[in-house]
Structure 1
Amino acid sequence: MSDHTKRSQIKDHKNYLGDKIQNEVINLIGENIKSKILELTKKAKYYSILLDCTPDYSHQEQISVCIRFVNLKSSGISTEEHFLLFCPIDDVSGKGLTKFLLLALEKEGLSINDL
C-alpha cells in the first residue's frame, strides 16, 4: 500500500484513489450486497420491515429501513435482519410512510402480499 501511495504522487500515474472512483466502488459493493439481501428475502418469501425516522444535523428527516426474514439454510433455520436503505423523507405521517414503503417495495421487487 505504501508503494502504491508513493506511485500515486507521480504525475499522470493512474492510482484509482480519487473520490469519484472510491464512491463508485462503494456504490457497486453496496448494490451487490443489497441484491444478495433481496435475493435471500425473495427466497424466504415472507418478511417484515422495520422503519425508523430521525432528523439529521440539518433537521432533515431521514428514514432507515431494515428487513427481517427466516433464512432456510442447509445448516439450519435462522432469523436474519439486514439494513436495506437509508434516505431522506419529507412526510413522516402515516400516509407519507405508507406511500414511501409501497414505492420502496415496488422498486426492490418485493410483494406487499408477502409482508
Structure 2
Amino acid sequence: MSPDIQNEILKLLSHTVLCLIRKQIGNNAFAIIVDGTQDISGQEQESFCIRYVDEDLYPHEDFIGLYQVDETSGSAIPQIVKDALCRNGL
C-alpha cells in the first residue's frame, strides 16, 4: 500500500473512533485534560483527553488529539481548547 492510502485509512479509522467517543459521551458532562510539551524541534504540542462517565457509571478517559500550537499564554489556552473541542464536534 502506498503512504497516501495508509494515511487515508488512518484518517478514516480516527474519524470512526472519534464518532464512537462522541456517541458514548452523548449529552453527559465531561472533563478536558490538556497537557503540553515541546517536541525535539522546540515546537509546543498540546495533547487533549476527554474524561467522562458512561451510562453504567464506568469512568473513561480517551485521547482525542495532539495539536501543535504557537502560543501557550493564559489568554491563548482557552482558544486552543475551544478550537480542539470544535474540531472534534464536542
TM-score, normalising length: structure 2? 0.91
Runs of 4 or more above 6 Å deviation: none
Change (3 A) 1:106 1:23: closer
**Structure with bigger gyration radius:** 1
In structure 1, the gaps of 5 or more residues are 1-16, 111-115
Decide whether aligned partners of structure 1 residues 32 and 54 sit closer, same or farther in structure 2, where only a CA change above 3 A counts: same
The alignment's TM-score, normalised by the length of structure 1, stands at 0.73
Q: How does 1:6-85 map to 2 (within 5 A)?
A: 17-43=1-27, 45-72=28-55, 76-85=56-65
C-alpha deviation, 1:108, in angstroms: 3.0
Cα RMSD, aligned residues only:
1.2
- C-alpha distance in structure 1 between counterparts of 2:89 and 2:5, whole Å: 29
What SS class does the counterpart of residue 5 from structure 2 fall into?
helix
SS in 2 for 1:59: coil
Q: Distance in 2 between matches of 1:38 and 1:94?
A: 28
Where do residues 94-105 of structure 1 align in structure 2 (5 Å cutoff)? 94-105=74-85
Greater share of helix residues, 1 or 2?
1
Query: Number of residue pairs matched?
Result: 90
Say which SS state the counterpart of residue 84 (structure 1) adopts: strand
Q: Provide structure 2 residue ranges, at least 5 long, that are not aligned to the other structure.
A: none
